[in-house]
Amino acid sequence: MVATSHDVMPDIELYQPADEATALDLAARLGNEGWLLGGGQDTYGWLKDRNKTPSAMIELTQIDAWKGITETADGIEIGAVTTLTEIARNPLVQSRYGLLAKAASIVASPQIRNVGTLGGNLIQDTRCWYYRRGLDCYRAGGNICYADSPEGLNREHALFGASRCVAVSPSDTAPTLVALDATMVVASAGGQREIPAQDFFVGPDRDILNMTVLNEGEILTAVRIPNTWANAEFYFEKVADRNVWDFALVNIAAAFKTSGGNIEDARIVCGAVECVPRRLEDVESAIRGQARSEATGNSVAEMATAGARPLNYNNFKVPLMQNLVKRAIRG
């Protein structure tokens, strides 16, 4: 008898298309059996834990058309396969859209940023440990949420938007792109569509199995950022248990247009408090015309968390989120 080790990597076909047409054709042909591979930092964890079992992988890192940062007539376009390090260090991003440069610069660790891509950071799956352990929770097609149970460990989970699932979006770059009014460019064998960043991410009330609007056979190929918020006053902060190699407990991305010290317009978005980046539109409306000051921040702090429904172990996120909003507004 020959012993078989459980640790043997399962058979997976690897495709390495060098052009857009081939990649899109493969995505259409393989459907959900074709795992899209960028930097692979999230992929390897899923495979190691045997919780995802694709029959094939489509590596996108050789497609030059989906890499790089280019200036356009009304902003910039960033290929989805561009690494986070490239984004963080790019002079154009740093000078005009420092919010994104800052967020990209603190994802995980330098080694991960060197290979991790913008697209991968945006569409990575949630980090809920029950789901990633392969338990039959709602998100995995079951009929229970282990995190939202009397014994559930839910310190990192949602304050808002729970609908069976209480997992949160783990991306640091997603809130910044919502704040910058970015547009996601999505391609398939059937054509291309553009989706506002705020509409790209979806909660469990709309889709319990997926965190974005991407359909089978579709690939996020680029992100377009308009000049609308170029050179605004930016604020980004991430609070995590560790400064490197960790996901946010709460993060905040904010952009302000000011005149004479008063706020003319604002975008304030929090991450890791909901399954999608949470834009604080009521706060934005309340601070227009007000001074960018500590007093203004204090006046809207509680508004920022109105409707929050803390779980057993994440009550601390409420004052944490309020404090991040106050710090962003005062600058």
Does residue 204 fall inside a structural domain? yes
Interhelix angle 317-330/294-304, rounded to 10 degrees, is: 150
Number of domains in the chain: 1
Does residue 212 fall inside a structural domain? yes
- Tokens 């890791």 correspond to 272
pLDDT at 222 (0 to 100): 98
User: What would you report as the CA-atom Rg of the chain, rounded to the nearest whole angstrom?
Assistant: 20
pLDDT at 297 (0 to 100): 98
pLDDT at 127 (0 to 100): 93
Does residue 279 fall inside a structural domain? yes
Does residue 236 fall inside a structural domain? yes
Q: CB-based contacts of 230: which residues, under 8 Å, 6+ apart?
A: 75, 96, 97
**pLDDT tens-place string over residues 13-37:** 999 999 999 999 999 999 999 999 9
What phi and psi values does residue 232 have, to the nearest 5 degrees?
-75, 180
| Token pair in block for residue 290 | 């007000």
pLDDT at 121 (0 to 100): 97
Distance of CA 248 to the CA centre of its chain: 11
pLDDT at 284 (0 to 100): 98
Q: CB-based contacts of 6: which residues, under 8 Å, 6+ apart?
A: none
Sheet with 56-59, strands from edge to edge, namely 13-15, 56-59, 34-37
- Averaged over successive runs of 10 residues, the pLDDT of the chain (331 residues) comes to 55 95 98 94 79 90 98 98 98 98 97 96 95 93 96 97 96 98 98 98 96 98 98 98 93 98 98 98 98 98 98 98 98 90
**pLDDT tens-place string over residues 132-161:** 998 999 999 999 999 999 999 999 999 999
Q: Assign residue 94 the CATH number of its domain.
A: 3.30.465.10
Does residue 213 fall inside a structural domain? yes
Q: What is the residue range of 291's domain?
A: 64-124+167-330
* 84, HSE (Cβ side, Cα atoms, 13 Å): 28
Helix (H, G, I), strand (E, B) or coil at 11: coil
The DSSP bridge pattern shows strands 34-37 and 56-59 to be: parallel
184 contacts 202 by C-beta, under 8 angstroms: no
CA-CA distance, 62 to 46, in Å (whole number)?
23
